Amino acid sequence: MMAWLKSLAAVAALSLVAACGGGDDAPPADVVQVAQSDARFTILTEAVKAAGLDSALSGTGPFTVFAPTNDAFAALLTELGVTKDQLLANKPLLTAVLKYHVLPAKVAKAAVPLGQPISPLDGGIFKIDQVGSDLVITDGRNRTSKIVVTDVPATNGVIHAIDKVLLPANRNIVETAVATPTFSILVQAVTAANLAGTLSGPGPFTVFAPTDAAFADLLTELGLTKDQLLANTALLTKVLTYHVVPGRVLKAQVPVGTPITTVEGETFSVSPALAITDRRGRTANIKSTDVLASNGVIHVIDRVILPAP
């Protein structure tokens, strides 16, 4: 697979030379000119021009552009339910989306920080993981895009072709939880503890989020009903803030085996197997990681963790 990708990158580079006249006398080409010379990027080229970004991306840079193919843009139009003309006419949306595909540095494939938060030009983050032989991007809305060609050179940076248009986050942590059916009790608890405003703020925060099943087990363990737990705001606030860590900590950044200080003030630890040990010696498993939100990240856990009694 990787050999195939390298082959495509080489073909793209050779096609560029041919398009520019070929040979050693071929004029230099910036990232905009490279995209203009490639038939796979005609919609991207139109979008960059419509957003008025062509001059900026022709500048000295350096830039890394994650370039959606025409097929990627066609899929986005279907997803958003708009025509190409409508998308190109919406300059604020177009500008935000396009800047989300650009890094203010040259990052070749070999230098991609796998699993780490990557910050594009216009803010927000996305991440890139190695999945088998593929490099897969997770955007701010937890959609995934595959990098299909890497390291296409330009005078002011590098281009990586992708098969899906990336979109920045449109939900904060609370909104993400509300939209997730398995977090219904967590949402009720956050509301009852009057923490929704805080967790909707700029943060960033990392939330280790218990599922409804985890809360059901906690009620049995404590001998309480859900209404009794939600009415005890002091206990509820203490428990919930114990699940929140200041800062955005993706899975790859979790300090394994090191005490992690929570907003509540106490610590817990995470094992190499992604099992949390709380202050009472109880364990919870991290079942899903790196659910991105505009103001942080959520990791899903299968047990409510508890601070010291």
Cross-strand bridge partners of residue 161: 67, 149
Question: What's the confidence (pLDDT) of residue 115?
Answer: 97
Instruction: Judge: domain 173-301, CATH 2.30.180.10.
Output: yes
Question: What's the confidence (pLDDT) of residue 122?
Answer: 85
Question: What's the confidence (pLDDT) of residue 260?
Answer: 98
144-154: strand order across its sheet: 102-103, 63-68, 157-162, 144-154, 134-138, 127-131
pTM: 0.88
Question: What's the confidence (pLDDT) of residue 2?
Answer: 33
Question: What's the confidence (pLDDT) of residue 11?
Answer: 36
Cα-Cα end-to-end distance for the chain: 54
Cα–Cα distances (Å) from 114 to 1, 67, 86, in that order, read 19, 19, 35
Alpha-carbon gap, residue 129 to 303, rounded angstroms? 27
Helix/strand/coil for 131: strand
Question: What's the confidence (pLDDT) of residue 279?
Answer: 97
115 CB-side CA count, 13 A: 9
CATH topology of domain 2-162: FAS1 domain (2.30.180)
- Comparing 2-162 with 173-301, is the CATH topology the same? yes
The C-alpha R_g of the chain, in whole angstroms, comes to 23
Task: Name the residue ranges covered by the structural domains of the chain.
Answer: 2-162, 173-301
Question: pLDDT by residue for the chain (309 residues), tens digit each?
Answer: 333 333 333 334 433 333 333 334 444 799 999 999 999 999 999 999 999 999 999 999 999 999 999 999 999 999 999 999 999 999 999 999 999 999 999 999 999 999 999 999 988 999 999 999 999 999 999 999 999 999 999 999 999 999 999 999 999 999 999 999 999 999 999 999 999 999 999 999 999 999 999 999 999 999 999 999 999 999 999 999 999 999 999 999 999 999 999 999 999 999 999 999 999 999 999 999 999 999 999 999 999 999 999
